[in-house]
Chain A
Amino acid sequence: MRLLTHNMLSSNIKGVTNGFPLRIEVEKVVEKQVEINHDFLRNIFPKIDWKAFFDASRVMGYAELPEEAPEPLVLESDLEFLRKFHHALLELHLEEGALVCPETGRKFPVNKGIPNMLLHEDEV
């Protein structure tokens, strides 16, 4: 699971008011190289919750991202930033670990890169 997906996922448990962001527990991180696409990065940037993204990248062991979200204009010209953004968003994979609901502490296990988001009967 990449941080792109993590940034979109929220806890769906009944009664939870704010299930975003899910805390990451890392057991195994894998890096997979992927071709960079500037258009995609510029398009997705406004949708990214930067704080959650920054915190998650730190947990995954990547410390190159700036803590403050840059101005959108930065994306037009700063190739170095785009490279770091691309790396953290699309090239870091959580292979084994868990996602934790911020309110209930319930763990969603991650195996082979796939988070198990199935809710139990009483959580629906």
Chain B
Amino acid sequence: MSSRPELQAPPEIFYDDTEARKYTSSSRIAEIQTKLSERALELLALPDDGVPRLLLDIGCGSGLSGETITENGHQWIGLDISQSMLNVALEKEVEGDLLLGDMGQGLGLRPGVIDGAISISAVQWLCNADKSSHEPRLRLKAFFGSLYRCLARGARAVLQVYPENLAQRELILSYAMRAGFAGGVVVDFPHSTKSRKEYLVLTCGPPSLSTTIPNGKGEDGESCSDDESSGDEENQTVCISDRHRPRKKQKINKRGKAREWVLRKKEQMRRKGNVVPPDTKYTARKRKSRF
């Protein structure tokens, strides 16, 4: 498995022109980013009144997530540290305004002006100390502090992250809480190593009905609750589930691939979120020898 981008170089160097190109040419990347953005917008739970809002796209990069925001009818301001990625966004003539900046230096926005913020695959970059003067904690503090201030009362921030490990996730969460945010983590497809996605859903202002955190997606894309929840305070559910790695070695019956094994495997695939034909009386039926 290739190394994490965060371990290879600081973001403004990693996302150079070559890497940025991938974000235009790779349909797979585009598809994933679009899906993540749509899910993040969903979790933002903006009122369904048809009124366009002003949103912030943190780590907007090539503008893929921004385009999703535009498609949903909202205005947005995007921030990114990589000029190469922003150049791609310029080529695409995105509707939002772009800022070249470092989120770890603080967002530099006036208090209470933003109706919602999303971030796709960006915030975990704060956890790396790329320069000697970079202390990740100070950067996390500056980021979350300025984010909390610029959000309007009752607004949400949804940050899709790829934390390296549990410690990083805890670090990010703790600085979010310290800044005054309430909220928790929503995990989609917690059982799949490939499809698993984490969203920090953070709310500003007093706890209310609007701050209840939705459940993550699981089997067949339906909502399911996570296996472990820790620190259950009023409206501060932090659900953290450890990855359940599917058992790599299945006991294979000496008689070959029996029906029970097939059914078990199909169930496993469903839990991962794959499309699986339904189980019928024909499942794992012995076929004629010519098959």
Contact = CB atoms under 8 A, between A and B. Distances in A.
Contacts of B102: 118-119
Interface in B137-190: 142, 146, 150, 152
A69 interface: no
B269 interface: no
A20 B110 contact: yes
Contacts of A112: 90
A124 B146 CA distance: 13
A43 B98 contact: no
Contacts of B133: 121, 124
Interface stretch (B2-10, B51-59, B227-235): B51-59
Contacts of B150: 8
Contacts of A5: 77, 97, 99
A39 B98 contact: no
A5 B97 CA distance: 7
A44 B115 CA distance: 10
Interface residues on B, range: 20 to 34
Contacts of A4: 54, 75, 97
A interface residue count range (under 10 / 10 to 19 / 20 to 34 / 35 or more): 20 to 34
A97 to B, nearest CB: 14
Interface in B60-102: 75, 77, 81, 86, 90, 97-102
B3 to A, nearest CB: 26
B150 to A, nearest CB: 8
A112 B100 CA distance: 11
B90 A114 contact: yes
Contacts of B110: 7-10, 20, 49
Given A39-B51, A39-B52, A112-B90, A9 B108 contact: yes
A37 interface: yes
B32 interface: no
A100 B81 CA distance: 20
Nearest to A89: B75
Contacts of A115: 99-100
Contact of A124 (B105, B114, B152): B105
17 contacts: A5-B77, A8-B54, A8-B109, A8-B110, A10-B110, A12-B108, A37-B52, A39-B52, A40-B52, A47-B54, A49-B110, A113-B97, A114-B86, A118-B100, A119-B105, A124-B105, A124-B142
Given A5-B77, A9-B108, A39-B51, 19 more contacts: A1-B97, A4-B75, A4-B97, A5-B97, A8-B77, A8-B110, A8-B113, A10-B109, A12-B105, A12-B108, A12-B146, A43-B53, A47-B113, A47-B152, A114-B100, A115-B100, A117-B101, A118-B102, A118-B105
